Amino acid sequence: MALTFDDAYDNFADHALPVLQEHGFPATVYAISGWLGRPMAWAGDAPGRPVPKLMSAARLREVHAAGIAIGSHSASHAKLGELKPEGQRAELADSKAALEDLLGAPVRHFCYPFGNFDLGAVRAAATAGYASATTCLRGAATQADHPLALPRKAISYGDNLLGYWWKLAMKDAPKPVLVDWRRRLTEGQV
């Protein structure tokens, strides 16, 4: 099992990191290279809910130094499936270069913002040199998955401990959209 945290919120360092360290769990945080240190601003206004802040460059370096793997979550949290090839290339390659520059270490993992991707985005991830990319396709990753279109099980603020356990334990059949991606990507299209 792999633990992944999208967006690189400041509160990851406050709350999740100490627990991960206490239990010795490895984890990956996906950072948005162009948004470090800024408020999260792509979900629109949710009245009554505070806008979380994203980690600064300095804090991301600290988290990395504490043993957390840092992946890219693009340069601007764009919906990659809606971009032209040049835009996809920029979001994937430029964010990788910027984060590698910041951390002084290779960045080999990517997460598609909003889980939005298409074949062009997968190809751009391959060209940029990523070893893995995660989606919001729901399911447990298996050997049948392409490493640049990995499914995940999302745990959100609405989940309690029982819901968390249920999601992990659930072994339901993969959704048709996941089956379709497995088929498309094993036919040698990337």
- Judged by the rule CB under 5 A, the positions of this chain that interact with Zn ion are 6-7, 113
| Complex with Zn ion: residue 76 or 127, whichever CB lies closer | 76
| Complex with Zn ion: residue 95 or 182, whichever CB lies closer | 95
Chain centroid to Cα 42, Å, comes to: 15
Nearest distance from residue 90's CB to Zn ion, in Å?
Answer: 17
Nearest distance from residue 138's CB to Zn ion, in Å?
Answer: 16
| Complex with Zn ion: residue 6 or 145, whichever CB lies closer | 6
Q: Strand, helix or coil at 139?
A: coil
Closest to 33 measured CA to CA, from 72, 81, 83, 88 = 72
Nearest distance from residue 88's CB to Zn ion, in Å?
Answer: 16
Closest to 64 measured CA to CA, from 111, 96, 17 = 17
Q: What are the residues facing 27 on neighbouring strands?
A: 3
Decide if 41 contacts 79 (C-beta within 8 A).
no
Closest to 70 measured CA to CA, from 135, 6, 152 = 6
Can you list the positions of beta strands (E) in 32-108? 69-72
Nearest distance from residue 73's CB to Zn ion, in Å?
Answer: 6
Q: What are the residues facing 30 on neighbouring strands?
A: 6, 71
Nearest distance from residue 12's CB to Zn ion, in Å?
Answer: 13
Decide if 81 contacts 45 (C-beta within 8 A).
no
| Complex with Zn ion: residue 90 or 182, whichever CB lies closer | 90
Q: Strand, helix or coil at 82?
A: helix
Map tokens 């010795």 to a residue: 24
Nearest distance from residue 42's CB to Zn ion, in Å?
Answer: 7
| Complex with Zn ion: residue 32 or 178, whichever CB lies closer | 32
| Complex with Zn ion: residue 19 or 41, whichever CB lies closer | 41
